[in-house]
Amino acid sequence: MGIAVAGMDFLSDRASMMREALQKSQTITDNVVSILGSFDSRLSALETAMRPTQIRTHAIRKAHENIDKSLKSAEVILAQFDLSRQAEAKILKGPHEDLEGYLAAIDQLRSNIRFFSSNKNFKNSEGVINHSNTLLAKAISKLEDEFKQRLNSYSKPIEPDRLFDGLPNSLRPSSGSPGNQGEPGGRGPSHNHSEHQNVDLETAVYTPPTLIPPRIIPLLHDLAKQMVRAGHNQQLLKIYKETRSLVLEESLRKLGVEKLGKDDVQKMQWEVLEAKIGNWIHFMRIAVKLLFAGERKVCDEMFEGFDSLSDQCFAEVTASSVSVLLSFGEAIARSKRSPEKLFVLLDMYEIMRELHSEIETIFKGKACNEIRESALGLTKRLAQTAQETFGDFEEAVEKDATKTAVLDGTVHPLTSYVINYVKFLFDYQSTLTQLFQEFETGDGTVSQLASVTMRIMQALQTNLDGKSKQYRDPALTHLFLMNNIHYMVRSVRRSEAKDLLGDDWVQIHRRIVQQHANQYKRNAWQKILQCLSIQGLTSSGGGSSVGDGGNSSGVSRALIKDRFKIFNMQFEELHQRQSQWTVPDTELRESLRLAVAEVLLPAYRSFLKRFGPLVENGKNPHKYVKYTAEDLERMLGEFFEGKNINEPKR
C-alpha cells in the first residue's frame, strides 16, 4: 500500500515537471516567432532599398557582355581583313612560284566573300565584297594563264617508238621496216591472215603511254576545279581542246597517219593503196588502244567530278584525229569495187569490229555520240561493200574474158588467182559468216560459205571450158583442162576448203581430171599407135617381102619402111611440140608420162621385134629404125617440161 502511494507521488511530480518545461518551450517559440516577424519586415525594407542597385548592376553586366561580343565580332572581322590582305598579296604575286598557296588564297577569298555576304549589317560589307570579287576575277584570269602554260609545257607529241612499246610483241614493227611503219614484220593486209591470230590479239595486253606526268595531273585538276567553280567552263574547254588536239594530231602524224580522201584514194596505184590500208589497220589499233585510251585517262583524272565536262573535252580533243582516220576508211568503202579489194575490206571490217567495244567504252557519254555513230557507220559500210564485192567476184570469174592463152597448156593465171582467192576466204570464215548474217537471208552459217564457194568453183570451170576452146589441138585442150582442174582439186585437198566442199566434190573432180588425161592420150597418141599396128601390112606387089613364114610372113618391106618413117616423123613432131607443153605438178607429170609409156613402149617393142629385121637387113637400116625403146622412154621423159623451142635437146 505504502509502495503504491509512493509511486503515484513520483508520477505526479514528473508530470508537474513536464508541464513546466512545455510552458517554457512555448514561451521561447513565441519569442522566436516575434523576432522572425521583425526580420521579415526588415528584409522587405532592405530589398526595397537594394532594388535600384541591382538594376544598375544588371545593366552594367549586360553592357560588359555586349562589349565582349562586339570586341569578338571586331576580332573576327579584323581577322577576315587580315586573311583578305594575305590572300590578296598571294594573288597579286601570281600562281607561278607557289601554285598550291595561290589556290588556297582563292579559296580564302571565296570564304571572305561568303562571310561578308552573310554580314551585310557591317557598313563596309558591300565595298569589301566588290573588291574581293574584282580580285577573284583577276585571280581566275591568272589561273587560266597558268593552266594553259602548264598544260602546254607538259603536252608533248608521243614518238612512234614509245607507242610501239605499248603494243603486244606480235604487233611491234620489225626493226628493219622503214620508218617503223606498216604491218608488223612486213605482214600485208591481205596476206598471212589468220583468224587464230586475231583471237590472240583479242586477249593481248596493250599499255597506253603516259601522256602527262602523273605528278602534274592533281595540280591541273585543282586549277580546272577553280575555273569550273568560277563558271569558266567554256574557257577551260577552249584551252584544253586547242592544246591537246594539236598534240594528238602531231602524234598521229609522226606515226604516219595521212589525211586522205576519196579523190586521193582513186588516184593511187593498187600496190600503194594496199600498203596504206595495211598501215591504216595498224594505226587504228594504236590510235584507239593507246592514244585515245591514254587521252581518256587524262581527261577522267583531270576533270574528276565533272563527268559531262570530261566527256565534252575528250570529244573535242579527239574529233579531228578520229575524222582523219575514219575518212580514209570511208574513202575505201566508197571507192570503186574490185575483187582484189575484198580482203582489205574484210581486214578493215575486222579491225573495226575488234575495236568496237573499246570505242564504245572510251567514247562514252552524250558528247561522244557523233564519234560513236561515225565508227559504227564505217563498220556497216565496210561490211556492205565487202558483201557486194564478194558477190561481184563470182560474176567476174564466170565472165572473165582474158584473151591471153597459156600456150603450153599449164595452169591459167585465172585459176591460180581464183584458188588463192578462195583459200584466203577461209581465213575469214567467222567474218564472212557475220556478213552473211547481216546481209543474207537464211541462217548465215558456214553452209552459205560452202554454197558460194561451190558456185565460184563452177564459175571457174565454166570459164576454163571456154578458154580451152582457143586451142586448135584437141590434145592440148584436154591437157589444159586436166592441169587446171587438177590444180583446183589439189588446192582444195590441202586447204580448209576440203571440209567445206566435202569428199564428194573432191572425188568427182578427180574423176574429171582422169577423164581429161584419157582424152589427151586418145587425141595425142591414137594416130601414132596406128603406125605400130599390123593392120594394112599385107604384100602389095612391087616391093620385096619375106616368104619364109614367121611373124613377118607376107609383109611388104616397103610398107614396113614407110611405117617406121611415119612413126619417126610423128614421134619427133610430138616430142618437139609436147616438150614445150607443161604439166606443172610433178606427180601428175610423171603419171601422165608413165601412162603414155605403158601404151607406146610395149607396142613399139612388139613392132620392132616383129618387123625390125626386115629393114635391118636392108640398106641404111638406121634411116628407118632410128630409136630404140630406151630412146623413146628417155625422150618421153622430156615431155611436158615447158621447154623453149630454141633450147638444145637433151
Q: pLDDT tens for residues 365-398?
A: 999 999 999 999 999 999 999 888 888 888 888 8
Do residue 461 and residue 508 come from a single domain?
yes
Q: pLDDT value at position 169? A: 86
482 in a structural domain: yes
The torsion angles phi and psi of 515, rounded to 5 degrees, stand at -60, -40
- Spatial contact of 172 and 164, defined as CB atoms under 8 Å apart: yes
Q: Write out the residue range of the structural domain in which residue 491 sits.
A: 416-440+447-519
Do residue 94 and residue 236 come from a single domain?
no
543 in a structural domain: no
Q: How far is CA 20 from the centre of its chain?
A: 125
Q: pLDDT value at position 549? A: 39
- Cα–Cα distance measured from residue 565 to residue 603, given in angstroms and rounded to the nearest whole number: 16
Query: What three-state secondary structure class fits 200?
Result: helix
- Cα–Cα distance measured from residue 328 to residue 100, given in angstroms and rounded to the nearest whole number: 46
State pLDDT tens for residues 251-263. Answer: 999 999 999 988 8
- Cα–Cα distance measured from residue 435 to residue 56, given in angstroms and rounded to the nearest whole number: 101
Do residue 343 and residue 212 come from a single domain?
yes
Which domain CATH number covers 339? 1.20.1280.170
Structure pTM? Answer: 0.68
- Spatial contact of 291 and 254, defined as CB atoms under 8 Å apart: no
Do residue 304 and residue 344 come from a single domain?
yes
Angle between the N-to-C axes of helices 446-468 and 429-439, in degrees from 0 to 180, rounded to the nearest 10:
100
- In the chain, the number of structural domains is 4
- List beta partners, residue 556: 545
35 in a structural domain: no
Nearest CA to 641 out of 591, 571, 579, 589 is that of 579
* 396, 426, 455 - which closes a domain: 396
Do residue 392 and residue 343 come from a single domain?
yes
Do residue 249 and residue 369 come from a single domain?
yes
Residues 6+ positions from 592 with CB-CB distance below 8 Å: 517, 520, 583, 639, 640
63 in a structural domain: no
Torsion of CA 588, 593, 594, 595, to 10 degrees: 90
C-alpha cell at 18: 513536464
Q: pLDDT value at position 179? A: 41
Do residue 390 and residue 479 come from a single domain?
no
In this structure, is the dihedral angle defined by the CA atoms of residues 124, 130, 134 and 139, taken in order, positive or negative? positive
Do residue 385 and residue 452 come from a single domain?
no
C-alpha cell at 143: 589561273
Do residue 392 and residue 426 come from a single domain?
no
Please determine, for residue 579, whether its predicted confidence score (pLDDT) is greater than 60: yes
Q: How far apart are the first and last CA of the chain?
A: 190
2 in a structural domain: no
Q: What is the mean pLDDT of the chain?
A: 81
Greatest mean pLDDT range, 103-117, 378-392, 526-540: 378-392
State pLDDT tens for residues 580-637. Answer: 999 999 999 999 999 999 999 999 999 999 988 888 776 777 788 999 999 999 999 9
C-alpha cell at 465: 571450158
Please determine, for residue 37, whether its predicted confidence score (pLDDT) is greater than 60: yes
Please determine, for residue 547, whether its predicted confidence score (pLDDT) is greater than 50: no
Residues 6+ positions from 492 with CB-CB distance below 8 Å: 498, 501, 505, 506, 509
- Spatial contact of 315 and 247, defined as CB atoms under 8 Å apart: no
547: exposed, middle or buried (C-beta count within 10 Å: 0-12, 13-18, 19+)? exposed
- Cα–Cα distance measured from residue 288 to residue 355, given in angstroms and rounded to the nearest whole number: 7
432: exposed, middle or buried (C-beta count within 10 Å: 0-12, 13-18, 19+)? buried
The DSSP letter of residue 582 is B
Residues 6+ positions from 65 with CB-CB distance below 8 Å: none
Do residue 495 and residue 569 come from a single domain?
no
Q: Which residue, chain included where needed, has cell 591470230?
A: 197
Nearest CA to 350 out of 193, 143, 552, 146 is that of 193
Q: For 257, left (φ over 0), alpha (ψ -120 to 50), or beta?
A: beta
CA angle 401, 395, 379 (to 5 degrees): 130
Do residue 311 and residue 255 come from a single domain?
yes
- Spatial contact of 392 and 365, defined as CB atoms under 8 Å apart: no
- Cα–Cα distance measured from residue 364 to residue 489, given in angstroms and rounded to the nearest whole number: 51
Which string of b and e fits 402-418 if b means at least 16 CB within 10 Å?
eeeebebbbbbebbbeb
95: exposed, middle or buried (C-beta count within 10 Å: 0-12, 13-18, 19+)? buried
Q: Higher-confidence residue: 340 or 419? A: 419
Q: pLDDT value at position 541? A: 43
217 in a structural domain: yes
Do residue 452 and residue 476 come from a single domain?
yes
